Amino acid sequence: MVRKRLITVLTVNNGVLFRTRNFIPDYRYTLNFVDAWSVDEVVLLDITRPGEGERSNFYNVVEYFARNCFVPLTVGGGVRTIEDFRTLFSVGADKVAVNTEAARRPEFITEAAMRFGSQCVVVSVDAKLMGDGRYEVLTRVGIEPLRREPAQWARESQECGAGEILLQSIDKDGTLEGYDNTLNRRVSEAVTIPVLVCSGAGSWKNFVDGFRLGGASAVCTTNIYHFTDTSIKSAKHYIHKAGIDVRI
């Protein structure tokens, strides 16, 4: 059985590490807080809006993490071309997450998977709960509707060659209220590739619920802990004691 994973997702705005709430940067950190410790993977996402920063600042952050964090590194945000994949791999990424361009042109997923292998292609799915109870996929940093239900889009992404789905709830982002496990379960049951659930974790129990109720292959978080060795280890011991197979 494949072990479940605990992943740190970090959002970077023009080269600066920020916490977000509902996809809006609301608190600034410094890179000195960050290390790999006992976490299984790190995901770095560039949330800089078009025209508001220099892409080279993000590349510098990726290089910093690649030098200092000895765990798999997934990098995304603003990926539009195969050349963007190559550039991110060259500065230290192990996997690349795609969102808006994949939604605009699903064959981009296939092209990337054929060039680099499905294991390197992560499709990021940002979902919002609508007033009528439906979930809607939004692109362009959560502002443009795709007119797809998340489970449907995740399934299409897998068929196009995606190796993983990074699922984020816009409503739960930064709230510490727990994951939206209704959303998570729908998506995890729609695909056979790993689903990494993100947004809302506020306690160790939320991690366990993400696995048990949400069907996640990995649980992701940013805000729950303050980047200390003790907190990540504590989370893993809690998950392990709950009977879930994680790397201690």
Share of the chain above pLDDT 70, in %: 88
Predicted TM-score (pTM) of the model is 0.91
pLDDT at 37 over 60: no
* Cα–Cα distance, 84 to 118 (Å, whole number): 16
Q: Which of 41, 147, 157, 57 is nearest to 99 (CA)?
A: 157
Q: CA Rg, the chain, in Å?
A: 16
Q: Could you report the per-residue pLDDT of 180-226, keeping only the tens digit for each? A: 999 999 999 999 999 999 999 989 999 999 999 999 999 998 766 54
* Cα–Cα distance, 67 to 116 (Å, whole number): 22
Question: Structural domains in the chain?
Answer: 5-241 (3.20.20.70)
